[in-house]
Chain A
Amino acid sequence: MQREITLRVNQWDQTLSIDDADTLLEVLRDRLKLWSVRESCGVGACGTCTVLLDGKPVSSCFLLAARAAGHEVTTLESLVDGETLHPIQQAFVEHRALQCAYCTPGFVLSVKALLEENANPSDDEIRDYLAGNLCRCAGYAEILRAVRAAQEKLRA
């Protein structure tokens, strides 16, 4: 069934006519052309399509768009301020925490949520929090270092 919803995405209200079956991923990509949001597994298991819903990471491939109405959706596009990268993005660049980088948008958003919840996580807490984001290039050591560096930058 078609219905009209208002989605608040990156601090903009967007009124859209959607199908009940549309996932948040489909609406963000196919309708709003937010290309940082990427499908990979389609079953909420890999974290590639992660966006923030009221600041918490969710798999947008596994959430119906209608369910996101009334919530604040954040995608990677909103993190850059003009030409200035977000401190987490700066840390990812400085520590080479990206290779093919298909997973990077999801990781950066998960790290953002992690550090907002817990400004001073232990290594085990970081590993637990990021366990749902997969990187097949397996650059996990660099990602761990980037989280540490981002933490310092955000504290400064």
Chain B
Amino acid sequence: MANFSVVGHSVARKDANPKVTGRALHVGNIEMPGMLHVAVLRCPYPHARIARIEKSKAEALSGVAVVLTGAEIAKMPGIDPHFGPAFRDQPILAVEKACHVGDPVVAVAAVDKRTAEDALQLVEIDYDPLPAVYNVLDAVKEQSPLVHEQHRPAKAFADLAHVQAGQRSNICYHFKLRVGDVDKAFAEADRVFEDQFSSPPAQHVPMEPHVTLAYLDEHERVNIWTASQSPSYVRTEISATFGIPMHRIRVRVPYLGGGYGAKLYAKLEPLVTLLALITRKPVRYALTREEEFLTVTKHGVVTKIKTALKNGAITARKCEVYWDTGAYAEIGPRIGHKSGYTSAGPYRIPNVWIDSYCVYTNKVPAGAFRGFGVPQVIWAYDSQTDMIARALGADPVEFRLQPMLDEGEAFATGTLVKSFGIRQATRQAAQAIEWSKPRAAQSGTKFRGKGIAAGVKAVLTPSISGAIVILNADGTANVLSSTVEMGQGSETTMSQIVAEELGIAADQVHIVQPDTDVTPYDTITAGSRSTYHMGNAVRMAAAKVKAALCEVVASKLEVDPDDLAAGKGRIYVRGIEERGMTVGEIFLAKFGSLGTTLAAEAVCQPTASHMDPETGQSEKCTEYWFPSATAAEVEVDTETGQVKVLQLFCVGDTGTAINPSHCEQQLQGAALMHLGLTMFEEMVFEEGQLLNGSLLDYQIASIKDMPEAIRPIVVQVPHEDGPFGAKGAGETGALTVAPAIANAIHDAVGVRIRDLPITAEKVLRALAEKNS
């Protein structure tokens, strides 16, 4: 690997000081004169027609500025009462009917939060409950109640252009992949394995709940401060919803207190903007934790997976994946597509059949969640691969490695894989946990076991990142980028890339926070895409600036621009460091002044080739892949069913690690977060009612859940088109945690858990069943 001066070093976090002193700006710290606060009345039924709303008493309460209903919004000229990234199906406030418990029905803006809440008590609503559907497998049946009568595509993203309008079905999106002759392979198989796996809905629990502030500035422009992972999209959505020209909308995002997918696309922004337009006052809405649980979830998923074996090798795999997207499609269709096509695994399988269905139910809407659906499909395919290996008496690691795709081989989509360090990741995981070391004999009531899991995610393609690099006359630089700093360290990473290209230090670069008035378009800060896409954009923009500097130096010193290099704030003749010019000297030569700047813009826009809608075949379905592997050692108490994770090794191929420490933190943080999702996190619904929607009842991993031994392992298989060979790291550690633990439990006590989370009760029941 080339020797870099800034890239590849664990440069200190740029945002450490403001964060450790508590001074980091968050939307909740922004106050404006006359600012109003919002409270929302939510539907108590899973599916109900709104028969009557009586709000005059609430309107009469002192301090109340407005009491708003969906029926009123529907009558406002020029406003689309529905929004959404895939389908415009989500109402700003429920119009005729509400589709899940917690669906917003009436909003109040008032002088303070308590007055707004008091006003809600004075609103009377009559509902007519409607038949509802809660289970994804019930919702796909023909006789099921319909959540929506029709589906209206949003056309907001290029990769969702193929999403079609539909009606009379709860299935809003169906992805198909067909390779070879699956029926024939099953007919000729020696053995067939058929299993069903499930993952429950779960909540992101960002420590900072959603919060949005909107106001009209002195030009009557809409200004929005919002805790969002997608400022560019918010501007597009507000423009489309209210018919406001894009230059009259400004969206700004300061530091985020965590996102994990919860803060993507539009959430509170349409409602808060509308309230600001109506009241002509600044309006801020901060969700309570209880509302957070009613706003967005991780997709609950049921996967049916059937695999054929012939002469010890996998010859066919058939996957049916059912994504419970709740009452509104949100980004479910993209997840059903991008994760759906990976659901047979990173293996050489000649015959593959995949049906991936995105399905409406009367539950809280499901959206993106760190891993974007891939942890749910790996839970099924890696668990089953482990079961097959053990049933055949094969070594589970060797059984996985044998059919794993090598560089240049075709994925199930027909796309040839590259920068695909899946074997390296699997081997490193096995080595870390001393897989080949003979197991000691065990007795008593506590048994130890080891498990390995491996899988892969593909990056969202196509998507777009634009950036502008502005070089100052003193050799420092400002970077305009819409990537949101939400803890992943993007400010530091982007600074390192720009510094490397311009030959300056990382602390000489300032990253301007997302502001749609000044920072160019970026699809989303999500999906482990920023280091590659925004990294390429800032690198290319910096390279353009450098080229302009080199042009001046080449003409002054009468040398070829190709012989010049950048370093220590100077442009010099390669090999003769003293022969060169400082940035200041170059500016004086070019502009005759130090009072100017040199700027360049660049856009990174990887493309995908057409995917056949009947077969899922595409010459290029993705720009790059994230191979992941996890090794776990557990101890199972056979008297209580309790499982203790003793060791956890989180391995990911990140491409070149721009900042190795940050890559390690992302791998380990994602894994530890998913340890909670594996062992205890579940949003429990009964007849559409959420039973555990608060942090008193819903547990996430604390420091006490961290295994005694936990270690991230960064595999670096460079990508030829990544910035300095980088890919991404945000989700990789999340992908394979659950099956690694389930596989280890089977190794320890011989029982197989198919439904997450792996509670002590489930383990105990499985043990009882095995012994009976």
Contacts and interface: CB of A to CB of B under 8 A. Distances in A.
Interface of A: 21, 35-36, 38-43, 45-46, 48, 75-77, 79-80, 85, 89, 92-93, 96, 98-105, 108, 126-128, 130-144
B22 A137 contact: no
B551 interface: no
A133 to B, nearest CB: 8
B1 interface: no
A136 B673 contact: yes
Interface in B668-687: 668-673
A38 B208 contact: yes
Interface in B190-213: 204-209
A131 B702 contact: yes
A144 B705 CA distance: 13
B733 to A, nearest CB: 10
B286 to A, nearest CB: 8
Contact of A136 (B258, B662, B694): B258
B489 A99 contact: yes
A78 to B, nearest CB: 11
Contact of A108 (B20, B672, B694): B20
Nearest to B260: A136
B703 A40 contact: no
Contacts of A128: 704
B702 A96 contact: no
Given A85-B20, A137-B258, A143-B703, A100 B486 contact: yes
A139 B665 contact: yes
A128 B16 CA distance: 26
Given A99-B488, A101-B24, A41 B704 contact: no
Contacts of A89: 20-21
A91 B696 CA distance: 31
B17 interface: yes
B432 to A, nearest CB: 15
Contacts of B696: 41, 43, 45
Nearest 6 CB-CB pairs, A to B?
A36-B22, A102-B257, A100-B487, A99-B487, A101-B19, A138-B672
Contacts of B489: 99
B661 interface: yes
B289 A100 contact: no
A93 B15 CA distance: 10
Nearest to A76: B22
Contacts of A130: 702-703
Contacts of B668: 138, 141
B26 A46 contact: no
A127 B255 CA distance: 28
B130 interface: no
Nearest to B257: A102
A142 B703 CA distance: 11
Given A99-B665, A140-B703, A46 B207 contact: yes
A77 B22 contact: yes
Contacts of B205: 134, 136
B289 A139 contact: no
Contacts of B671: 138
A40 B207 contact: yes
A36 B257 CA distance: 12
Given A46-B207, A140-B706, A141-B706, A99 B26 contact: no
B648 to A, nearest CB: 11
A96 B673 contact: no
A96 B13 contact: yes
Given A100-B206, A131-B703, A136-B205, A80 B21 contact: yes
A138 B22 contact: no
Which of A36, A99, A126, A132 lies at the interface centre, i.e. has the most chain B CB atoms within 10 A of its CB?
A99
A107 B738 CA distance: 28
A92 B20 contact: yes
A145 to B, nearest CB: 12
Contact of B703 (A45, A104, A127, A137): A127
Which of B205, B208, B661 lies at the interface centre, i.e. has the most chain A CB atoms within 10 A of its CB?
B208
B673 A138 contact: yes
Contact of A93 (B17, B26, B255, B701): B17
B443 interface: no
B207 A102 contact: yes
